[in-house]
Structure 1
Amino acid sequence: MLIQSRNLEAIAVEILSAAGSSDDESQIVAKNLVRANLAGHDSHGIGMLPRYIACVKTGELIPNQHANVVIDDGPIVSIEGGAGYGQVIGQEAMDVGIERARALGVCTLTIRHSFHLGRIGAWGERCAEAGLVSIHHVNAVGHVGNAAPYRGSDARFTTNPYCCTIPGARKSEPLVLDMATTVMAHGKVRVARNKGEQLPEGVLLDGRGQPTTDPDALFSEPPGALRPVGTYKGYGLALVNELLAGILSGGGTCRPETHHENDTILNNMFSVILDPNRFAGSEFFQSELNLTVKHVTSSPPMNPAEPVLIPGDPERENTSKREIEGIPIDENSWGLVVNTAKSVGLTSNQISNLAQLVT
């Protein structure tokens, strides 16, 4: 089925409001989730709402929290998230970092104890809109890990995303490298499971440490584990993210001692935000950026129908397409959203009127 982005956003706003969020918070979280759907990252879209609302009910996610600056020392800023919605904590934290980077040329910023920060590319894009380069390292605590180290057979940490954005790589559009350090993000396995699809080979280990293509293995007992992208290279980056985000933020690393009973998702992030014009100058920066992107993307494609892209291009293409055609959502995922809406008091008629489904 297909749902227009404005309708999906309206549904999310109503669910979030009914679960206790303020009008502003509901709008911020809903917009962030739907933008992830538009970009083609359904793993970080409205399908996260059932998990979010379940955690609100158990007290693991606390509505209406704000970014609390706990260290403010020139270019060094540390923020406590208070288990609030990551979409709010992340946005407020980036705005602090952007202001500081504009003033000083660079800001090193950490976030600790934020609930799920959502699609990390959104924070890089926010910095890029301000004309700033940004680098983000993320880890998660509070729940059992879901990613195995290289040569390991069980989970020792999470998918630990890495993001780097560079403004102006495509005229007014940025380069946005936003990636899990596993072959596939956890949420994409959830989406495949809801669709009844098998995974490609090389993505997942089952609870016995054996390769499998069954997405159910990640959610079974004992749980399976995602494999690192690029074998030892992805593992190395995942470990760097774990250490930088977990330790520098003060939020901790993914170990049994930091596991919460209700399996919550608390993210920590270490970000570097900088003004590229303070280094080699704005003219050189933009000229070299344009020339390099042109040089790389002018490579003759192996398949004429698949030209060379830069990171961020696929998301822009998906957004253009889905803004017109609507956002696809499978029946199982939609059913979970509907059940979540009903659990906070919305009626079937309200949901149907908001959705205006196109099947």
Structure 2
Amino acid sequence: MTARHSLDSLTRFALHLLEAAGLSADKAAAVAGVLVEGDLMGHTTHGLALLAPYLRELEAGTMLKEGEPEVVAESDAALTWDGRRLPGPWLVLRAMAEASERARRLGTGTVVIRRSHHIASLASYHRRAAEEGLLLLLACSDPNSASVAPYGGLDPVFTPNPVSAGWPTGGLPVSVDISTSTTTNGLTNRLHAQGGKLPAPWLIDGHGQPSDDPAVLFNEPKGTILPLGGLDSGHKGYGLSLLVEALTGGLAGHGRADPKEGWGATVFLQVIDPDRFAGRAAFTRQMDEVASRSRASKPVDAKRPVRLPGERGFQLSKQQAAEGVVLHESILPMLKPWAQKYGVALPA
């Protein structure tokens, strides 16, 4: 029988570990909530799977425990922060509050964060904006590492550079969360540890040959993750990767041109208030029509009707909140030593 854990027990467990590691209650609550939201929606590489690595970063001092972001630049609709390597989920939630307030006054509000720590699953933030009737654009890069080659190249330049958006409809929100590469570091690392393979040849080895084996990312000469579109149309993913670099490192003025500081993120976050444009009712009317036509499209497989991006995740989130959350089998074993170290009971 598959083990399930209550939402409250998982959130308390993560919260207590983070507080034991030295985070204040507000920072720990932000990080715990975002990580558990990832597992609720089924993003098992970007939920509590990140908690053990975050705890290591806190212990090593490479994730800052205390303080506030520093303002680098500020104008009416735009704000740039130096995140000082503070916890990424806490910084993003703070930035969303800032951007939302500006969007309600001005139509849009944009916050760019340099030197944030990792921000977890981007999809975890979309519902929060949509429930307020707002549209959220969110993207990030990590200038401290590279695992994705530009189209036609063998040497990595980019991280998977996710770009995402969430907005309200008359029903479930839409949540678009797309890596600009064919897969993520989280999945390739997990499959490599398990000796598994990818569903398709989403990688190239160090000689430029396509592969579905994550081992090519670790063997010499090291391979890379392909840009979104793969060998056939990877120029599209390459272009999107460059766009994310412009929105993050470019606007933040800090990125791959600067010395590496360790695992982290540069973040672009923009909130748009439909009420400041044609109005929320008009926005919802148009998006509901697009959603309706999409769902009505005759499916290739009758057993798999067309869904909207994020629909399955939100449905799974509702189900798991009621019935209990299924964690990937690797997560609790990774967290058990930390629970023992800090005297925190594992979730039942």
Count, aligned residues: 342
Letter in structure 1 aligned against 2:168: P
Larger CA deviation: 225-234 vs 59-68: 59-68
CA distance in 1, matches of 2:333, 2:166: 35
Match of 2:223 in 1: 224
Match of 2:316 in 1: 318
Find the partner of 2:240 among 227, 237, 255.
237
CA contact (8 A) 1:183 1:203 kept: yes
CA contact (8 A) 2:98 2:109 kept: no
Shift of 1:3: 3.8
- Give runs of aligned pairs for residues 1-359 of structure 1, distance below 5 A: 2-4=3-5, 5-142=7-144, 144-168=145-169, 171-220=170-219, 223-230=222-229, 231-253=234-256, 258-260=259-261, 264-342=262-340, 344-346=341-343, 350-351=344-345, 354-356=346-348
Letter in structure 2 aligned against 1:205: I
CA distance in 2, matches of 1:216, 1:7: 36
Shift of 1:134: 2.2
Q: Which runs of 5+ in 1 are unaligned?
A: none
CA distance in 2, matches of 1:103, 1:307: 40
Letter in structure 2 aligned against 1:287: R
Letter in structure 2 aligned against 1:243: A
- Please state whether the residue corresponding to 1:141 is helix, strand or coil: coil
Letter in structure 1 aligned against 2:243: V
CA distance in 2, matches of 1:277, 1:46: 36
CA distance in 2, matches of 1:323, 1:49: 20
* Cα distance change on mapping 1:192 and 1:8 into 2, 3 Å: farther
CA contact (8 A) 1:150 1:232 kept: yes
Superposed CA deviations along residues 9-32 of structure 1, whole A, max 9, x for unmatched, are 222122211211112222221111
CA distance in 1, matches of 2:211, 2:67: 40
TM-score by length of 1: 0.88
Letter in structure 1 aligned against 2:46: H
Larger CA deviation: 32-41 vs 281-290: 281-290
* Cα distance change on mapping 1:28 and 1:283 into 2, 3 Å: closer
CA distance in 1, matches of 2:328, 2:312: 21
- Please state whether the residue corresponding to 2:142 is helix, strand or coil: strand
Identity rate, percent: 31
Shift of 1:220: 4.9
The CA RMSD measured in Å over matched residues stands at 2.1
* Cα distance change on mapping 1:283 and 1:37 into 2, 3 Å: closer
* Cα distance change on mapping 1:300 and 1:62 into 2, 3 Å: same
Shift of 1:8: 2.3
* Cα distance change on mapping 1:206 and 1:63 into 2, 3 Å: farther
CA distance in 1, matches of 2:53, 2:330: 14
CA distance in 2, matches of 1:242, 1:196: 32
Letter in structure 1 aligned against 2:57: C
Larger CA deviation: 104-113 vs 274-283: 274-283
CA contact (8 A) 2:129 2:135 kept: yes
- Please state whether the residue corresponding to 2:85 is helix, strand or coil: coil
CA distance in 2, matches of 1:222, 1:55: 29
CA distance in 2, matches of 1:316, 1:220: 38
Shift of 1:84: 0.6
